[in-house]
Structure 1
Amino acid sequence: MPPSSARRQDITRGTHDRISIDHRIMGGVPCISGTRIPVATVIGLLGHGYSLSEVLEEYPILAKDDILAGLRFAAHALDQRELPLRLTP
């Protein structure tokens, strides 16, 4: 069952101050604020099996809350976009 509107707002709380999108930094790719580390890089590492502590070890400038904000940002972005019915090879 999807979260209610109030719950969805709570899920994204704390995301906007930790994720930045600036066309002057990395061409506007969403990054962890104050860094040039793309959210996609962090999410990709988690998707490849890195643990939270391994990502923090790889990128010591990050905090646990940065990674969690990246996950919330990615979930929210996917919730707002149309996805293809099938992936092309």
Structure 2
Amino acid sequence: MKAAMVEPVIMANPEIMSGTPCFRGTRVPFKNLIDYLEGGHSLDEFLRQFPTVTREMAIQALNDSNHPLPNHPSS
């Protein structure tokens, strides 16, 4: 049985944001998520500010990048 292929959620296209890695289907750079989390903000705060990014997309991107999801309480 084959494992299902999961589409990458981070795309880099020279035609979009000058090739900055962004969430698929958006103009939201992945770095924005990292900056939010490293700045002490929660994933929920990021998702409120960038509603075109889904929770599933953010979590998959963090997992794919091996970046830890901080233990912030949801608010």
Larger Rg: 1
Give the partner amino acid of 1:25: I
Q: Aligned pair count?
A: 64
Percent sequence identity over matched residues? 32
Q: Is structure 2 residue 40 aligned with structure 1 residue 44? A: no
Residue segments in structure 2 that go unaligned for 5+ positions in a row: 68-75
Q: Which has the higher helix share?
A: 1
CA distance in 2, matches of 1:74, 1:15: 14
Give the partner amino acid of 2:44: S
Secondary structure at the counterpart of residue 45 of structure 1: helix
**Is this contact kept in 2: 1:42–1:55, CA < 8 A?**
yes
CA distance in 2, matches of 1:31, 1:69: 13
**Is this contact kept in 2: 1:15–1:69, CA < 8 A?**
no
**Where do 4+ consecutive residues of structure 1 move more than 3 Å?**
none
Residue segments in structure 1 that go unaligned for 5+ positions in a row: 1-12, 77-89
Report the equivalent of 2:46.
Answer: 55
Q: Alignment partner for residue 74 of structure 1, among 30, 55, 65? A: 65
Give the partner amino acid of 1:40: K
Secondary structure at the counterpart of residue 66 of structure 2: helix
